Amino acid sequence: MDIGVAEFAEDVRVFLEKNAARTANGAARSWGRGSDEVAIFRRERYARGGPEMAAAREWQRTRFENGFGWITGPAAFGGRELSRVHEMAYDELESEYTVPDISDLRIVGLSLVGPTLLAHGTQEQLELFLRPLYRGDLVACQLFSEPGAGSDLAGLRTRAERVDDGWVVNGQKVWTSVAHCADIGELLCRTDSHAPKHDGITAFLVDMDSPGIDVRPLRQMTGGAEFNEVFFTDVHIPDSRRLGPVGAGWKVAMTTLLNERSTVGSDESISAESALNIGWLTSLLDAVGKRRDPVARRRLAELYVARSTTDSLNARMLRMLCSGGTAGPEASVAKLMNTSNVTAAADFVSEVLGAQLIADNGDWGTFAWNELLLSTPALRLLGGTDEIMKNILAERVLGLPREAAPPSRSDDRR
């Protein structure tokens, strides 16, 4: 159904008023009131069957059944077939209400695995997974990274060997978000060790409760454990769960990664709004008696300019989408700029607070910032490292020569 953004927004407002409560204006973000948490990653893990995950699933189910669970998706699987602009309009309106946090469902499952499945899945897979995924019945994770591969995803070693009734998988994945509460995972395996490394990879959809899968939490600097390492020991996967042709896993992976870079560059993935809120940072200067410090004021002005520049870029992408275009390199640039802004804000706060950042003396709005500082290094890695993103922009947008390959081991020996 073709519906304008303004009319759509009216429908969204009716739905939210009926199903959620408005957030008290400014209460959550007023300095000295409420929680002073400033975090990017959650300290406590959502348990697979815990109340937080149950609430997230129920809210996604409510959104889906009212036509807001998959706004851009095909109608055949419960979507509205509307534009990304409509989806952004919904997100903006929902931010005014207090609703369960669905990021564990959304960032990986709905934004990465779902679109990949839609692009490469068989009809049987689409009918089996898409509606439950966007209805909140399934949680998905992304099983790509490995300990020995680093940023070279094509260097993965987890192996899938063909057997009569499917495949047997052995290996290890790492840095897997929400694997501890996921029902299914998008898995990349090496299926041909003799083919060029990009051609010997195959993608699968694996049930995370399959015998032989061991999910272990990884403790982060913040004290939380939102990521996991996942071990596969003789895990059987039916061939019907293969995603795309044998040996075409790299193409499947690229679909996922393109969606990942767009998602990581958006506001929904970096939820440390306080870190970039100039009002909050100004209040911090007042609280520690540095409002008139010329160095601090200059740094704060630089942060304001950087945030405003990023906002302008995002506004440009929105106008492009509204006019029927698609976001190009702007998404990659926005990811880099957002990372830079949050990192600069964390550095600014650490300079302003000094020892108060690491000493939990009970003062509101001081020690809480250390969790942000400890989280920011991850932003330079997730969704593609800053170095990889810069190479992509340099080579594919600016047309610069490709980066020289490192010398081989035989070259080193010479």
Are the C-beta atoms of 210 and 237 separated by less than 8 Å? yes
Q: Is the separation of the CB atoms in 348 and 334 below 8 Å?
A: no
One-letter amino acid at 281 equals L
Q: CA nearest 80: which of 32, 20, 15?
A: 15
Of 1, 38, 106, nearest to 376 by C-alpha is 38
Pick the closest to residue 233 from 294, 176, 171 (CA basis). Answer: 171
Separation between Cα atoms, residue 168 and residue 400, nearest integer Å:
42
Q: Is 260 a residue of the active site?
A: yes
Which whole-number Å values give the CA distances from 277 to 69, 78, 360, 363, 375, in the listed order? 29, 37, 23, 20, 17
Judged by DSSP in three states, 295 sits in helix
> Within 13 Å and on the Cβ side, how many CA atoms surround 357?
17
User: What is the spatial distance between Cα 231 and Cα 214, in angstroms, rounded to a whole number?
Assistant: 5
H or E element, residue 357: none
Give the SS3 label for residue 161.
strand
Other residues' Cβ atoms within 10 Å of the Cβ of residue 244: 21
* Run of H or E residues at 18: helix 5-19
- C-beta of residue 268 within 8 angstroms of C-beta of residue 103: yes
For residues 396 and 296, is the Cβ–Cβ distance under 8 A? no
Catalytic residue, from 226, 260, 330, 371: name it.
260
Question: What's the rounded Cα separation, in Å, for the pair 30 and 354?
Answer: 23
| Rounded distance between C-alpha atoms, residue 204 and residue 187, angstroms | 5
Pick from 107, 145, 160, 159: which is nearest to 228 by CA? 145
Known catalytic residues?
A: 260
